[in-house]
């Protein structure tokens, strides 16, 4: 069905699977290192247990978020045509920043570089998806916390877990999980009812409440997009570091010249790509906050220049 697709669906799905795998490995590693983590706190066994439980809980939240986001992205690509995916690529920008999110800039820069205008209401869509992620993630996080702390040979009581004299980790974890469950429940109760989209677009008292709730999730999406910009900047700093290393490294003059030329070429290409990602993220942030609830992406000619230069170098 997607044999001639302009969208790198396989690459996008692979990134989601990779992110889930990394999150699962991180959680498994923490469980296997439980003894060492607890021992870091010496004789304060409760503080050690709570720190371990908090770490596991947040990793469970991240794992759930990664899986849920991956499922949402897979369903979005499965149910939409190439044009719809391109018009609404804010979905990929806002939802693919999980443990595998370092690959998001590569994914976004591989999409066709064309002018697009969203035909899905970003506020409504993101509130639905992020609401479910918050609700499920909060429940999973709370369940993990209680499972780790209240079971096992060194189990502790709920009162010990919430006692800030022992550790503030328990209070912080419960508060965060409770907040996620609360805002997730708000989203589920309002945005998954019959005709919820029509109500959201209306001018009733309920529609105003729904729009107020959506602002919470717009803030969450904005934070994700700012993180995308940060990742792109890290990639640029890496290219600058390679350039500096090529200049300062001693060795054969010819080899050094070749290394410097390669590093300079890589830095130039990276600047193009990072600029593209930052423009996209800024346009996405601007779009989800506009009153017309429309995300507009404009074509970036620099990306085409970078691709041409990269292809010419290969030949």
Q: How confident is the model at residue 196 (pLDDT cuts 50, 70, 90)?
A: very high
Q: How confident is the model at residue 226 (pLDDT cuts 50, 70, 90)?
A: confident
Q: How confident is the model at residue 268 (pLDDT cuts 50, 70, 90)?
A: confident
User: What tokens appear for 210 in the block?
Assistant: 């729904």
Q: Please indicate, yes or no, if residue 122 is contained in any of the structural domains.
A: yes
The pLDDT, as a whole number, for residue 164 is 74
Distances 188 to 129, 133, 210, 266 between C-alpha atoms, Å? 9, 10, 11, 46
Among 4-18, 27-41, 119-133, which stretch is predicted with the lowest mean pLDDT? 27-41
Among 82-96, 216-230, 258-272, which stretch is predicted with the lowest mean pLDDT? 82-96
User: What tokens appear for 276 in the block?
Assistant: 């593209």
The pLDDT, as a whole number, for residue 44 is 62
CB 226, CB 169: distance < 8 Å? no
pLDDT surpasses 90 at 302: no
* Percentage of residues in the chain having pLDDT higher than 90: 17
Q: Which of the two residues, 244 and 11, has the higher pLDDT score?
A: 244
pLDDT per residue as tens digits for the range 230-264: 877 888 898 899 888 888 877 777 778 888 888 88
User: CA-CA distance, 290 to 275, in Å (whole number)?
Assistant: 22
**Helix 122-150 vs helix 45-79: angle between axes, to the nearest 10 degrees?**
150
Q: Please indicate, yes or no, if residue 1 is contained in any of the structural domains.
A: no
pLDDT per residue as tens digits for the range 107-144: 666 677 677 788 888 889 889 999 999 999 999 999 99
297: three-class secondary structure by DSSP: strand
Is 0.95 surpassed by the pTM of this model? no
Q: Please indicate, yes or no, if residue 89 is contained in any of the structural domains.
A: yes
Q: How many helical (H) and strand (E) elements, i.e. helices and strands, does the chain have?
A: 13, 2
User: CA-CA distance, 271 to 306, in Å (whole number)?
Assistant: 9
Q: Please indicate, yes or no, if residue 2 is contained in any of the structural domains.
A: no
Q: Mean pLDDT in the chain? A: 80
Q: Please indicate, yes or no, if residue 179 is contained in any of the structural domains.
A: yes
Q: Please indicate, yes or no, if residue 3 is contained in any of the structural domains.
A: no
Q: Identify the domain containing residue 82 by its residue range.
A: 9-314
Q: Please indicate, yes or no, if residue 60 is contained in any of the structural domains.
A: yes
Count the domains in the chain: 1
């Amino acid at each position: 069905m997607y044999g001639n697709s302009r969208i790198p669906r396989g690459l996008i799905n692979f990134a989601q699977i990779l992110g889930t795998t990394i999150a699962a490995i991180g959680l498994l590693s923490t469980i296997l290192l439980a003894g060492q983590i607890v021992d870091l706190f010496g004789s304060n066994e409760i503080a050690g247990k709570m720190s371990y439980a908090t770490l596991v809980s947040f990793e469970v939240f991240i794992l759930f978020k990664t899986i849920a986001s991956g499922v949402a992205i897979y369903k979005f690509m499965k149910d939409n045509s190439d044009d719809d995916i391109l018009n609404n690529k804010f979905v990929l920008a806002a939802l693919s920043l999980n443990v595998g999110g370092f690959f998001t800039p590569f994914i976004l820069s591989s999409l066709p570089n064309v002018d697009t205008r969203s035909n899905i209401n970003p506020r409504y869509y993101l509130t639905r998806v992020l609401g479910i992620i918050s609700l499920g993630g909060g429940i999973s996080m709370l369940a993990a916390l209680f499972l780790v702390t209240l079971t096992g040979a060194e189990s502790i009581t709920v009162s010990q877990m919430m006692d800030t004299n022992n550790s503030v980790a328990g209070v912080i974890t419960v508060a965060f999980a409770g907040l996620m469950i609360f805002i997730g429940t708000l989203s589920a109760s309002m945005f998954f009812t019959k005709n919820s989209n029509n109500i959201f677009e209306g001018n009733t008292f309920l529609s105003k409440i729904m729009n107020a709730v959506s602002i919470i999730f717009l803030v969450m999406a904005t934070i994700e997009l700012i993180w995308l910009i940060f990742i792109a900047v890290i990639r640029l700093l890496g290219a600058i570091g390679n350039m500096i290393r090529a200049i300062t490294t001693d060795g054969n003059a010819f080899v050094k010249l070749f290394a410097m030329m390669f590093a300079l070429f890589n830095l130039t290409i990276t600047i193009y790509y990072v600029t593209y990602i930052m423009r996209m993220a800024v346009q996405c942030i601007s779009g989800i906050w506009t009153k017309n609830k429309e995300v507009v992406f404009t074509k970036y000619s620099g990306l085409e220049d970078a691709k041409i230069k990269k292809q010419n170098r290969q030949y």
